[in-house]
Amino acid sequence: MLVSTVELASRARRAGELGLTGTEGVGLDWAAVIARKNRIVASWSEGKDTAFERQGISVLRGRATFVAPHELEVADRRVTAERVVIATGSSPKRPPIEGIERALTSDQLLERTTLPERMVVIGGGVIAMELGFAFGRAGTRVTVLQSGPAVLPALDDDSRAALVALAPGAGLALRTNTRVKRISPDHSVEAEIEGQLERFPADAVLVATGRPPNTAGLGLEAAGVAVERGAVKVNEYRQSPSAPHIYAAGDVTGLHQHTPAAWYEGRLAAENALLGNRRAADFSLFPTATFTIPAIAQVGLTEASARQQGFTVGVSRTPFEDSSAAAVRNETEGFVKVVFDQTSGRILGVHILGPGAEDLIHVAAVAMRGSLTREALTGMHYVFPTLAGSVFDAMWD
Amino acid sequence: MDYDVLVIGAGTAGSFAARTAVGLGARTAIVEHDGFAGTCLGTG
């Protein structure tokens, strides 16, 4: 939500190039932005308990703790159940760094009603980069301190390289291979980078180093539920192998921390629990997006993983600079990249950075779902001028 | 047994699990201690 507001503001500021006047004074009233976010979020959960009751679902308030495989305590009350689905989600973690209590989690940062002038982000994953770009484009000077050698390690190398190139213009300094040592009372952050200790002054520090599953206090040992690396261990049916009447879904499994994975697994776990293990979870085709500004989306294999898997890899791509639709909108950054198998013509992966990437990726996902070859797609008609046309153009060599 | 299916957590995964279970005719309960939305939908 914040991302789309900030994106609108940054587009508006550049709208002078399109001949719009009065765009010089476009600003962001951050308190109003946060208040609107809070209203919308509240509306999504409001009335949910009564909706459950209307649907015939009993709502029990409190924390649930197993006391036996089929028996739980919920707020001093004992309840018994034939089957249990664990869906307790995940929470941001604070790594053991001196002064880490001075850092904000993403939840806390999104409650603040003022924009920090300077912000250090500890982490370089999806949350770190999405909030880094949103705050950077909103006017905060952001420094991202990633511990590993690259930000957003799951991305295709070309997408990452393009995003890294855009970062300075968006107000972000990206640093990799860092070891954060200390957060001082004045919020400055000390980190060791290539053997040198550097100090980064900041008004706010965001800690975004991952969200471990919420398993504490559930009494899983009383139910015989095995835990692996902090997550409820499950098989492909989202069933606990050690306690077969117990299933788990969503972030608590530590597998796919995405909202669409949560609803897919929630349904699947309930069906398998009640009907027997009918459906195995299938994530072979799972489109994802990172809501940086611009956004990045991908489906299927990266070029590097396709090569690792031994395919005779071919790559074709189209920059949005070649798109009339992108030119009309004055948003020509980015590209569509297609990774394909030269032998069969099968599409192995598609990677999009640029305007509407999060929507365009579904064109590719549907094509891959239907096992369409590149050749089949190059012969397709499309509406001109559209951003989606670039997905088809990218199929050509 | 009080319920056929007890779902712990009323975020995205738990809500879908509970609705699916009740849709299949199961006696279903959902446990929640803190709001009714998932992380992505619940924090914005």
Tokens 């879908």 identify what position?
B16
Q: How far B25 CA lies from chain A's nearest CA (Å)?
A: 10
Domain hosting A21: range is 1-59
> Is residue A281, in this structure, part of any structural domain at all?
no
In a domain, B28, yes or no: yes
Give A60's contacts in chain B (Cβ within 8 Å). 29-32
Compare CB distances from B13 to A45, A249, A273 and report the shortest one's residue: A249
Query: Could you tell me if A394 and A318 are in contact, meaning their C-beta atoms sit under 8 angstroms apart?
Result: yes
Domain-embedded: residue A377: yes
Same domain, A110 and A24: no
CA A351/CA A265 separation, integer angstroms: 25
> Residue A280: inside a domain, yes or no?
no
Look at chain B and report how many structural domains it folds into: 1
- Strand partners of residue A373: A346
The verdict on whether omega for the bond into residue A294 sits within 30 degrees of 0, i.e. cis, is yes
With beta carbons less than 8 A apart as the criterion, state whether A357 and A288 touch.
no
- Taking CB atoms and an 8 Å cut-off, how many pairs form between chains A and B? 187
**Substitution target from B4, B32, B33, B41 for chain A, most A beta carbons within 10 A:** B32
Q: Determine, yes or no, domain membership for A140.
A: yes
Distance between CA atoms of residues A264 and A250, nearest Å = 8
Are B12 and A52 inside 8 Å of each other by CB? no
What is the reported pLDDT for B42? 47
Same structural domain, A313 and A389: yes
CATH number of the CATH domain containing A68: 3.50.50.60
Residues of B in contact with A274 (CB under 8 A): 4-5, 21, 24, 26
**Alpha-carbon gap: B23 to the closest alpha carbon of chain A (Å):** 9
Residue A45's pLDDT is: 81
Cα-based distances in Å from A352 to A88, A285, A318, A355: 33, 16, 10, 9
Give how far A235 is from chain B: nearest CA, Å.
17
- Determine how many CB atoms are found less than 10 A away from the CB of residue B25: 10
Tell me whether residues B38 and A89 touch, CB distance under 8 A. yes
Q: What is the ipTM of this complex?
A: 0.90
Statement to judge: residues A79 and A114 lie in one domain: no
- Give me the pLDDT at residue B40, please: 52
Q: pLDDT tens, B1-44?
A: 999 999 999 999 999 999 999 999 999 999 998 754 455 554 44
Compute, in degrees rounded to 10, the torsion defined by CA atoms A108, A112, A117, A118: 0
Which of the listed residues A189, A207, A225 is the one where a domain comes to its end? A207
* Distance between CA atoms of residues A2 and A327, nearest Å: 25
Residue A282 domain-assigned (yes or no):
no
Residue B42 domain flag: no
Exposed, middle or buried: residue A64 (CB in 10 Å: 0-12, 13-18, 19+)?
Answer: buried
Q: Which residue has the tokens 């569509």?
A: A336
Splitting chain A (397 residues) into consecutive groups of 10 residues, what average pLDDT does each group show? 92 93 91 95 86 96 97 96 97 95 96 97 97 97 98 97 98 98 98 97 97 96 97 98 98 95 98 98 96 97 98 98 96 97 96 97 97 93 96 92
Can you give the residue range of the structural domain that contains B33?
5-37
Residues A85, A218 share a domain: yes
* Angle (deg, nearest 10), helices A2-13 and A30-45: 150
Q: Is residue B27 part of a domain?
A: yes
Preceding omega of A385 cis (within 30 degrees of 0):
yes
Helix (H, G, I), strand (E, B) or coil at B7: strand
Into how many domains does chain A fold? 4
Please compute, for residue A291, the number of CA atoms within 13 A of its CA located in the half-sphere on the CB side: 15
Name every chain A residue with its beta carbon within 8 A of the beta carbon of B10: 48-49, 52, 59
Enter the tokens of residue A17. Answer: 């190039």
